[in-house]
A = this chain, B = another copy of it.
Amino acid sequence: MRKEFRDLAEPETVAELISDLDIGGGTEDVPLTEARGRVLAERIDADLDVPGFDRSNVDGYAVRAKDTFGASEGDPVELEQVGRVDAGERPDVSVESGTVVEIATGGVVPPGADAVVMVERTSRENNTVTVRTSVAPGDSIMVAGADVAAGQRTLGPDTELTSREIGLLSALGLDSVPVRAEPTVGILSTGDELVAPGETLDSDAGQIYDVNSHTIAASVAEAGGDPEVYPIVGDDFEAMKRVLTDAATDSDLVLTSGSTSAGAADHIYQLIDDHGELLRHGVAVKPGKPMLVGRFEATPYIGLPGFPVSALTIFRHFVAPKIRDAAGKPPRKREQISGEMAVTERYKEGRTRLMPVGLVEDGDGNLLVYPVDKGSGATTSLVDADGIVELAPETEQLDTGQEVTVTLFSADVRPPGLLGIGEDDPLLSRLLDKLDAPRYLPLGSREGLRRLRNGIPDVAVAAGPTEREVAAVELGGWSREWGLLVPAGNPEDITSIADVVDDSLRLVNRGRQSGLRASFDAAIEDLAQQRGTDQSALTDAINGYTLTAQAYESPPRRVLAGKADAGLGLRATADRLDMGFVSLGTQSVGVLAAPDRVEKPGVAALEALLSEDDSATDLAGVTLSD
């Protein structure tokens, strides 16, 4: 089996090691049109004056200022217009004493003139211009070089180019600029179980889609690097060596992630050992223990954990700053905010912990922080978290209400407009689509109510016979028909719950958190009472009673895949998937809000949606109750 890592490095040691790696650092010229987001490789000095001529700032008349001295509304002077200069035109006339030249904004101030009078302070009849104000030399003129002067330092090295800098570079006439090359980062996912998105998955053979390649590639781009995703490599030593060699040849940095398969991990380890140098193996951070830092041939190499959340967390914490630095970008402004723990958490193991957390505002606008971790390998944690709380190794507990500092994933992260937890439901999904930035965790009715009681979500959604021992305001609800989903045509001719008990049909059930399961169990209890037996006798007789699936489409999809004869589910789902449906009853779904959160805009918006008269129509036959 895989090697054990006994000598875990301190996070600071690993950060230093990575900081010392030499990745990239070249420069290249890019067209100005592609320069946005890039970083200047060198100082840009102006090579010309901007403007390149004495320019009129207004529409008016170029004059000799002396000719206007003493002029006023009551005592104007009359001067003779001898010509006109438009913008983009070479003056073909000079201004002599007693004369003026009409000039447009942006025009070249003609020889002899030293000021411009705004048109608003003049009037003209034929060639006689009446000037009703006096001007001083220089008035309404931007002299050559006043904006940018030749030789002036305009932008320093390492300046990140936004629209504003691109404007200034345009003014200097540059159509290309020298920028720092983006470090090229080769990305490899390893593992026999991985399949690229878009390809066909064989779940029975334990295949899963490769998450890390695209996640890390997007993260590399976010950090200013140029990602290159290499083919997934499995457990074949020679293939891995070949791809690793390719990546190391063409990249400034190589990142691998995975593999959870022991063979691949050992191969990587051996390849780095044979063809490069292993600088570190293992870091005392949770998640992320199995991290490698080294070189393959001469190319810096970092091995990330296989689980996506771990891989991304380690990438953000240790690798992204290095890529930003190599790209010449300043360290990202760490957006940190304070919040209160919504729950109490206890910890063991003396490792620095980078804990993904979600945020929610309570009714008073205070920020609550709750841990987001469905545990090993969950990809939903990627989007259910808003940031990281970093905990020192010695932290053993965080108490409810304790203040913690959250490092947001980006400056744009905001708490969700609504946080809901509870039953999954197709109508609910559509309601959520109409809200601004909702977050919904479909953990089931029971879990929703439990967490509502603990003060985390704004609303819980509960279906079926639930024990609602929680103070809550019911915002509204609807009812839904539930039963057994069977293949189209109902080949097993199932008509009631009794058939499932008696005919040893293969069932897919829902988990105990689900309101569907609660109604199903209640129906079995009824049947048991009718038959004068106890519930467990019946459930023991059901083939698959303990085989549970997590959301409303999972059981029918197993039926469709031929792995079961019937799945617990909704009529709406049967209709959607063109399946047979054996109705077992109707249950209500209620949306319950925490009493202190009913004024939150997201909660109020959900309540408004629930009370809209036309919702029922909108919802394909589902009847809104309440």
Interface residues of A (CB under 8 A from B): 1-2, 32-33, 36, 43, 45-46, 48-53, 55, 57-59, 85-90, 104-108, 119, 142-157, 162-176, 191-199, 201-219, 221-222, 229, 234-235, 259-263, 306, 308, 312, 330, 332-333, 335, 374-380, 382-383, 409-412, 414, 424, 426, 428-429, 432-433, 436-438, 440, 442, 548-554, 557, 573
Contact assessment for B198 and A150 in the assembled complex, using a CB-CB cutoff below 8 Å: no
A375-B57, A550-B149, A553-B149 known; A208+B168 contact, CB < 8 A: no
A52-B203, A164-B409, A204-B108 known; A192+B142 contact, CB < 8 A: no
Contact assessment for A207 and B88 in the assembled complex, using a CB-CB cutoff below 8 Å: yes
Chain B neighbourhood of A167, CB < 8 A: 211-212, 214-215, 218, 308, 312, 379, 382-383
Docked CA distance A209–B174 (Å): 9
Closest chain B residue to A31 by CB distance?
B198
Contact assessment for B260 and A104 in the assembled complex, using a CB-CB cutoff below 8 Å: yes
Contact assessment for B145 and A549 in the assembled complex, using a CB-CB cutoff below 8 Å: yes
Contact assessment for A205 and B549 in the assembled complex, using a CB-CB cutoff below 8 Å: no
Given contacts A86-B261, A106-B306, A168-B382, 19 further A-B contacts (CB under 8 A): A36-B221, A55-B377, A87-B259, A89-B192, A142-B375, A146-B378, A147-B374, A148-B380, A151-B573, A153-B428, A154-B380, A154-B383, A162-B410, A163-B218, A164-B215, A170-B211, A173-B199, A174-B197, A411-B412
Closest chain B residue to A570 by CB distance?
B151
Contact assessment for A150 and B382 in the assembled complex, using a CB-CB cutoff below 8 Å: no
Contact assessment for A222 and B86 in the assembled complex, using a CB-CB cutoff below 8 Å: no
Chain B neighbourhood of A218, CB < 8 A: 36, 162-163, 166-167
Chain B neighbourhood of A196, CB < 8 A: 175
Cross-chain contact of A424 among B149, B378, B436 (Cβ < 8 A)? B149
- Measured between C-beta atoms, what is the minimum distance from A174 to chain B in Å? 6
Contact assessment for A205 and B89 in the assembled complex, using a CB-CB cutoff below 8 Å: yes
Chain B neighbourhood of A86, CB < 8 A: 192, 235, 261-263
- Measured between C-beta atoms, what is the minimum distance from A431 to chain B in Å? 10
Contact assessment for B1 and A59 in the assembled complex, using a CB-CB cutoff below 8 Å: yes
Docked CA distance A216–B88 (Å): 22
Docked CA distance A208–B106 (Å): 9
Contact assessment for A107 and B206 in the assembled complex, using a CB-CB cutoff below 8 Å: yes
Docked CA distance A43–B436 (Å): 13
This chain: copies in complex: 2
Chain B neighbourhood of A197, CB < 8 A: 32, 169-170, 172-175
A150-B554, A379-B171, A429-B45 known; A88+B261 contact, CB < 8 A: yes
Cross-chain contact of A377 among B49, B57, B143, B199 (Cβ < 8 A)? B57
Cross-chain contact of A440 among B153, B194, B442 (Cβ < 8 A)? B153
Chain B neighbourhood of A335, CB < 8 A: 411
- Measured between C-beta atoms, what is the minimum distance from A147 to chain B in Å? 5
Cross-chain contact of A378 among B147, B153, B170 (Cβ < 8 A)? B147
Chain B neighbourhood of A383, CB < 8 A: 154-155, 164-165, 167-168
Docked CA distance A153–B195 (Å): 23
Contact assessment for A170 and B210 in the assembled complex, using a CB-CB cutoff below 8 Å: yes
Closest chain B residue to A140 by CB distance?
B376
Contact assessment for B52 and A261 in the assembled complex, using a CB-CB cutoff below 8 Å: no
Cross-chain contact of A49 among B148, B216, B438, B550 (Cβ < 8 A)? B550
- Measured between C-beta atoms, what is the minimum distance from A515 to chain B in Å? 15
Chain B neighbourhood of A45, CB < 8 A: 429, 553
- Measured between C-beta atoms, what is the minimum distance from A92 to chain B in Å? 11
Docked CA distance A203–B144 (Å): 10
User: What are 25 A-to-B residue pairs whose CB atoms are below 8 Å?
Assistant: A1-B119, A36-B221, A36-B222, A43-B429, A46-B553, A48-B557, A49-B203, A51-B208, A55-B206, A58-B376, A88-B206, A90-B206, A104-B261, A105-B260, A146-B374, A151-B557, A163-B216, A164-B409, A167-B218, A168-B382, A170-B211, A171-B379, A173-B199, A332-B412, A333-B414
Closest chain B residue to A207 by CB distance?
B88
Chain B neighbourhood of A308, CB < 8 A: 167, 171
Cross-chain contact of A214 among B58, B85, B170, B213 (Cβ < 8 A)? B170
Contact assessment for A219 and B163 in the assembled complex, using a CB-CB cutoff below 8 Å: yes
Contact assessment for B550 and A193 in the assembled complex, using a CB-CB cutoff below 8 Å: no
Contact assessment for B203 and A53 in the assembled complex, using a CB-CB cutoff below 8 Å: yes
Chain B neighbourhood of A210, CB < 8 A: 170
- Measured between C-beta atoms, what is the minimum distance from A261 to chain B in Å? 4
